[in-house]
Structure 1
Amino acid sequence: MQMQESLRNISKWGAFLGYLFIILGGLYALVGLFLFIVGAIPGIISIFLGIYILRSARQAKDLLQEYEEKALAELMLNYAKFLRLLGILMAIGLIINLIAIGFWMFILITGFNTYY
């Protein structure tokens, strides 16, 4: 019973978030193209995240109708891809933020030392 409720939630929220990732990713990519070609990369990655989570939602819906081991394996595979890509993005974001903080601290320290 609890498994069916979890699959229902994955199906419902996964579809909502999947479409949201795809729509917002498209907007980010479009805006990024106007700013700079590299600016479209986060939008494209968001589209891939949306596709993976949407596939997981569809597999969860299929599992609710009829249990198949193949559908469960596909759900887990797409969810694992989603988590892996999101984890890589989070690590890259953390590294970039740490570099930016270090850069600004360097600027502040050297800027204050030249005037005082």
Structure 2
Amino acid sequence: MNPETMNKTLISISKWGKATGILFIIMGAITALSGAFFFLIGAVPGVLQIISGIFLMRSAKEAGQMAEHNSGQSEDLMLENYAKFVKMQGIYLIVSIAVSILAIIAFFIFLMLGIADGLFNDYNTYSSY
């Protein structure tokens, strides 16, 4: 990649990375607050998003410094923070999928328990008037 294209790409990563990192932090705070009202463990996905946003902002900062100075240390830090961001997103997805599967299983268990208990027997669907 030629230096001019690389510099433009790094500037784009810096700008969009900062904006996206801020959005991750805001959305993570909203998710953590809404999840904390139900159960304390409900705040975990929001905290993971906040941490991911921080790593993305650090990566964007290093990309901006790399565009200005083109130092090897900035490149290493940018890639290290981006790797942490990707790891946190993977953990967030795994937690989200696991919670979704558990919620679906719990829904069907409670539905079957309701049917077995006669919860839906009170409905007279074929009444004649």
Structures share fold, TM-score greater than 0.5? yes
- 88, 95, 102: which one aligns with 2:91: 88
Kindly report which structure 2 residues correspond to 1:62-81, keeping only aligned pairs within 5 A, or say none.
62-81=65-84
Runs of 4+ residues over 6 Å off in structure 1: 102-109
What TM-score results when the alignment is normalised by the length of structure 1? 0.80
Please give the root-mean-square deviation of Cα atoms over the aligned residues, in Å: 2.6
Kindly report which structure 2 residues correspond to 1:93-112, keeping only aligned pairs within 5 A, or say none.
93-98=96-101
Q: Which has the larger radius of gyration?
A: 2
Structure with higher helix content: 1
CA distance in 2, matches of 1:33, 1:106: 25
Q: Relative to structure 1, is the Cα distance of residues 92 and 29 closer, same or farther in structure 2, using a 3 angstrom cutoff?
A: closer
Which sections of structure 1, spanning at least 5 residues, go unmatched?
none
The total of aligned residue pairs comes to 116
Which sections of structure 2, spanning at least 5 residues, go unmatched?
116-129
What TM-score results when the alignment is normalised by the length of structure 2? 0.73
Identity in percent: 36
